[in-house]
Structures are given as structure tokens and as C-alpha cells.
Chains A and B, each alone.
Chain A
Amino acid sequence: MKVENSFSKILYIDLSKMKFSVEERYDLFSKYLGGTGVATQLLKENCKEGADPLSEDNALILAVSPFAGVFPLASKTVAMFKSPLTGDLGESHAGGRSAVAIRSTGYGAIVITGKSSSPVYISIHNGKVRFRNAYTLWGMRSCFQAGAIIRERESGSGIRAIMRIGKSGENGVAYSAVTTETYRHFGRLGMGAVMGSKNLKALVVSGKNSIPLADKKLYREVYNEIYDAAVKSDVMKKYHDIGTSGNVLSLQKIGALPTRNLQEGKFENAKEIDGVHIAEHYLGRRVACAHCPVGCIHIANIREPHPNEPYFYKTAQVSYDYELLFALGSMLGIGDEKGMLKLIDEVEAYCLDAMSTGVVLAWATEMFEKGLINKDHLNGIELKWGDAETYEKAVEYIVEQPNDFYKALAKGVAHASKIYGGEDFALAFGKNEMPGYHTGPGCHIGYAIGTRHSHLCNAGYSLDQKMIVDGTKETPQSIVDSLMKEEKWRQILSSLNLCFFARGIYTMDVIKRGLKSVGFDLTEEEINSIGEQVYAEKYSFKFREGFSFADQKWPKRIFETKSPSIEFDSKFMDEALAYAEKKIRELL
């Protein structure tokens, strides 16, 4: 087999017709590498202009690349769709075994369009596609159970990915996620709801195709360099020891830990919910994505006694990262780590995005506290900072949507605050709920102009940190310039399915030689130019679907609660937006 044939076949699945076809699209891979680059084009081609995100006109793309199954840490499948949360570009990355499985089953990308008339799941083993009835899985409370049932029925143990939605996706929650391999997620922008709207419960993929190489000697050389950097150097240490969850105390120290809906930047119980404390008392296991020796997935064991029977316990295994500890911890004022872990488990069972759920609930709590909504809105419960048990109930109501208020919450905090007020403290950027960093203007501008809303790391946080440490003063323009430069580079990383944790390993030189070993002889200029084109293409999709810089509003709260970096106001931020728009339009 030719090297390019091993990654350039695209599987098209039409759920309305229950048909599939395969097409060779080397044209896309030769121009955009794979992952984000190829997915953007496939989304443009297959999502109808102006499509309702929860209709058959939306398309769901999963794309891998010439690096998947080839190099370590090239583990992140890129998903693209029109987002039901923001109404424009939805991009989400997830690891687990998905990227290796899709590549090894023989495809470079999978395009899913249409809508099934009844619940189905799709299985793809060694390239062969089957539609399976998923009627009996629909409405199941926990997506862990649905995964376990599919696991029993399908082949490919050890090499398969089981990407499934939970009840939140079935019920159209605009920030419902897709879970793969129990602990990894296509999170944030509502991919779960997109699958749910297509009556697609899950996608199972496995395969063991051989993957040819263009230059074996160079391949071995580059492979060992990457592998050694991942396991022997300190580059990855912060991700595998305590993991990102150690950020709780780092951010607490500088006063950038969003607490109680960002009314404060410090949390009195930060120590209890920090990664060190959780690792010492609850960490039960660490696991890894396929082909990643780092193993950054941290799993806590929580043991709970049965309420009525003595000596009868159940133990749950809950994965945690910084973002969950912020969103379902400090943001909700929950300092009791066990309660927080139980809440995380609940959110995971429903397959909701943890960040959006936490931010939505934080806003609702403040609304209730201020008397802007009452118990009737909340379906009889009283939200209170720190009350993890009541938050568990609220999570259930977001999924079940028993009244108009919860229906609004299920569409995101930007939507809900438009109806019920409280927009000044509705912490969303471009309709997407904030991640856990209040470090300064850099991170907030990054949330607003980033093209990967699913991802939090947009380099804004490190720009803020630099200002804190060095005392330098960035301008709105210099912040935008830095963010755009980094963002263009990160299009290359995600077009090659690289985990952003590995960005310190995958330098331009490593990528260039790696590409050569799989048949892409590109110069640095050519690689950079692909990054810029992909960046521009993503914005062109956003504009096509109605994104407008004029609609971007800053929640006042980010100016009211002091951040550790430089002072900034709405004028500073608006200037940044205007400059970003000008620079982006120049690229189109």
C-alpha cells in the first residue's frame, strides 16, 4: 500500500439513508495535513449553510492524520460540527483510543450526515460499517452503562474506541459531550447534542491496518527522540505526576482561581480540592491514551457507605483534571472534596461538559442569591454555594429540563441570562462558558477570539503569567498579535492530532522531520503557511454561519474581580477585539 492511501480515505455515512461510501481525498490531506485542517474543509463541504445545528443538515466530522498511529502523543481525534451552543464552529478534541482506532481501521476521516429515524449506533471494524439498533440503550441514565453494554457486544477489545453520548446528548443539552474510553471527552460545544439529534448513540471503531512509512530510518530516529523526550525529560512531568489538578493552588496563590461565579479569585478551601490533596487521599490509578506513554489521566476512588446497611459500600472511579476541580469545585464554592468528586461523577454519567455545567450552575446560584429567580424557577430546590448534594439534583434537572428555566439553562448561560437577566455575571465568551483562569486580559481575549473554543489553552494564560512575573505591560494589539501567532501554530499541532500537552516536544524541527518520514517533504515556510490557512478557513466558516465581532460582549464581572495581571477595562478589551477583527479579515 502507498503511504498516502493509508490516511486519505474518507468514510461518508448518511444516517437518513442508512448508507455509506468511501472516497479518496488526498487533495485535502496534501493541502491541510489532516485533523483540524481537513475537518474544517469537510465541515464546509458537508454542513449546509445556515443549518440548524440540531437537524439533519448539520454534519459531524472526525478526522485523524498521517501522524495518528505513527508517533507517540498523536492521540487526539479532531471532531468538527456546527455547535448548538454557539451557533458557529464547533471543534473538540479527544484522545482515548479514538485516533489510533480510526487510522487503523483504514480511514483518515469519518463524515456523518443526515438523521436516523430511530436510535442507532454504528460499528466500524477493520473498515467494515454496520448500523446497529440502539433503541434499548436510549434513555439510559448513565453513559458508563451504555459503554459497558456496547463493550460486551462488540469485537476489538484492546484496540477499539467507543464514542458515546449520555442522556444530556439525547435531550439536546447544548453543552453535552461525547465520552470515549470512559474517561476522555469530546467536550464543550455540544457534540453530544449533535449526535443525539441524529439519533446516533455511539460510534465503535477498531482496526489493525498496517501503516506504511516513506523513510523508515528517519522514522525510527524521530520516534525515539519523541518517546525519550516524553518519558525521560521533565517536559511532561507536570502532566503525569500531580497532573493539571495542581493548578488549583498555583492559581489560588496568584488570586486567579474563579470562585463562586468569579465573585472572588481566591477560595478558602483551595487546598482541599487541589490535586496534591486529592492524589494523596483518593488517587487510585493513572491511565493513558493509546500511544501516549505519559499517562496523565488521574482517577480517584471514592468509597461510599450504603445509607441503610452497615458494612456495605460502593466504590466509584472518577477521573479529574484542573478544569473539573475549578468548575465543580471553587466556582460553586464546594470545598468538600468528596462531595465535589461525587458531583463530577454525576456530571460524567450524564455526559455533560463539566466546565459549562459548573459555570451555568454558578450563575444560577448567584441569580437565586440576588433574588432574581426563585424556588419555582429551580423546581423546588435551593442552590447554595458549597452544597454539592443540591447541585447533583440541579444537574439532573438540566438534563431532564422539567421547566422553562432549566430548558434555558440547557442552552447555556449566555442564552439563559438573555431571558432572565444577570448578563453582567454570566461568564461566557462567544456564548461558550469560561474555563478556569482569571489571570488577566490575555486569557479573556483568548477565550473570545480563539478558534478552538473547545480548548482552553490559547496562550493567553501564559501571556498573563509573563506580565505577572516580568512586570511587562502588553497592549491590546500586542496581546492579539501573540495569541494569533500561537493559534496559527496550534492549527498545525491539531491538524496532526497532537496532544497540546506535547507542544514542548513537537517543535518545528521535529514536525518537519516527522512529516518527511511519512511522505510530506515540506519547508518551515510551507508548514507555517498551512497553519495560517487553516486558521483563516476556520474563521471563514464562523463568518459563514453568522459569527460577528460586534455581538461579542464582555461580562462585567471580569472587570470587577481583580486579576493578578495588568489592569484592564472594557475599552482595553474592545480595542483588542477591533484589532483582532481587522487582522483576521486581512487573512480572508
Chain B
Amino acid sequence: MRLKVIDSQRCVGCQSCMFACSRRFGQAGLANTCMNVVSAGGMSKGFKVIVCRACKEPPCAKACPVDALLVNPKGGVKLKSELCVGCKNCIDACILGAIQWNEETAKPLACIQCGFCIKYCPHHVLELVEH
């Protein structure tokens, strides 16, 4: 399964999804969120909901010099943190901006398509679909 943005025009920018994602790690705040909701050029223009599309041939993994991003045959990646050298090549490679960054660990954050965020979207902006 992969995460899909049904309609970003319905997003109110509450970021409950981002908080949910980060909460999986037993912390509050946004340090570990694997997604981002940003205004589309100021709040008046609505929001962009940036999530990983679970590419089958992910550019982020291709750009990784140490193969720290393992590719799921069905699509998407999983970070092997102990291999990662924190070069940020994966962040540059994803033109969606779907790879996030943890300032404290200095490692990237990649969505694992678990769908936990969906439970906390009050306006049904997100869903899980088959690859």
C-alpha cells in the first residue's frame, strides 16, 4: 500500500498528520515527521501536502552513495540508519521534497507508508491505496 493525497484543496493546514507521524517515535512535536504540509505561497492560497509517492525506482535511493535507502520491490524506501552518512543527497534527489530531515540525529526521514497519519486527518485528505 502507498499513501495518496486525495485532494490537497481540502487541507486546512492543521498538521495533525505531521504530529501523528512524529508521535510514532514516542515523542511529541515534529522532530520525526516524514511528511510536510506547507502553504502554497501564503495561507490564502491553501496548502501543499507533501508525502512520499513510494516510487518503484526511487531517485532518493539511487542518489544514496552508501545504499542506506533500501528499496521495497513494491515501491518506496526504508532507511537503514546505521549505514547513512547524512550527506543529504537523497533530499536533493527527491524533487517533491518528500524526504524530511531530523536536525538532532542529522539523518533523513523517509515515509514507510504505514498510514498512521490518515487516522488523524479530520478532512480526509489522505488515503492508502494499492501500489
Do B43 and A69 have beta carbons less than 8 Å apart? no
A286 to B44 alpha-carbon distance, docked (Å): 9
Q: Kindly provide the distance from the CB of B17 to the nearest chain A CB, expressed in whole angstroms.
A: 10
Q: Kindly provide the distance from the CB of A157 to the nearest chain B CB, expressed in whole angstroms.
A: 5
Hey, which chain B residues are within 8 Å of A144, CB to CB?
Answer: 42
Judged by a CB distance under 8 angstroms, whether B129 is at the interface is no
In this complex, the interface size class of chain A, counting residues with CB under 8 Å from chain B, is: 35 or more
* A-binding segment of B32-40, B67-75, B78-86: B32-40
Hey, which chain A residues are within 8 Å of B37, CB to CB?
Answer: 158
Hey, which chain A residues are within 8 Å of B120, CB to CB?
Answer: 227, 293
A157 to B23 alpha-carbon distance, docked (Å): 21
A69 to B31 alpha-carbon distance, docked (Å): 10
Do B27 and A291 have beta carbons less than 8 Å apart? no
Do A295 and B42 have beta carbons less than 8 Å apart? no
Q: Kindly provide the distance from the CB of B117 to the nearest chain A CB, expressed in whole angstroms.
A: 12
A interface footprint on B12-32 (CB within 8 Å = 1, 0 otherwise): 111110010001001111111
Q: How many residues of B contact A (CB 8 A)?
A: 30
Do A208 and B26 have beta carbons less than 8 Å apart? no
Hey, which chain A residues are within 8 Å of B59, CB to CB?
Answer: none
Hey, which chain A residues are within 8 Å of B39, CB to CB?
Answer: 157-158, 181
Do B42 and A291 have beta carbons less than 8 Å apart? no
Do A219 and B42 have beta carbons less than 8 Å apart? no
Q: Which residue of B lies closest to A103 (CB)?
A: B29
| Neighbour of B28 across the interface among A207, A219, A290, CB < 8 A | A219
Do B29 and A293 have beta carbons less than 8 Å apart? no
B interface footprint on A278-293 (CB within 8 Å = 1, 0 otherwise): 0000000111111111
A157 to B47 alpha-carbon distance, docked (Å): 11
Judged by a CB distance under 8 angstroms, whether A72 is at the interface is yes
Hey, which chain A residues are within 8 Å of B36, CB to CB?
Answer: 157-159
Q: A181-B43, A287-B43 are in contact. Are A231 and B28 (CB under 8 A)?
A: no
Q: Kindly provide the distance from the CB of B48 to the nearest chain A CB, expressed in whole angstroms.
A: 9
B interface footprint on A290-321 (CB within 8 Å = 1, 0 otherwise): 11111100010000000000000000010000
The residues in B between 1 and 17 inclusive whose CB is less than 8 angstroms from any CB of A are 12-16
A219 to B19 alpha-carbon distance, docked (Å): 13
The residues in A between 105 and 154 inclusive whose CB is less than 8 angstroms from any CB of B are 126, 144, 147-148, 151
Hey, which chain A residues are within 8 Å of B130, CB to CB?
Answer: none
Q: A286-B12, A293-B16, A295-B122 are in contact. Are A147 and B42 (CB under 8 A)?
A: yes
Hey, which chain A residues are within 8 Å of B103, CB to CB?
Answer: 126, 207-209
Chain B positions within 8 Å of A, measured between CB atoms, are 12-16, 19, 23, 26-32, 36-39, 41-44, 46-47, 102-104, 120, 122-123
Shortest Cβ-Cβ A-B pairs, 6 listed? A211-B29, A210-B31, A295-B12, A158-B38, A288-B14, A317-B44
Chain A positions within 8 Å of B, measured between CB atoms, are 69-70, 72, 100, 103-104, 126, 144, 147-148, 151, 157-159, 181-183, 207-213, 216, 219-220, 223, 227, 230-231, 285-295, 299, 317
Provide a sorted-by-A list of 7 A–B residue pairs whose CB atoms are within 8 angstroms.
A182-B43, A211-B27, A290-B15, A291-B15, A293-B14, A294-B122, A295-B14
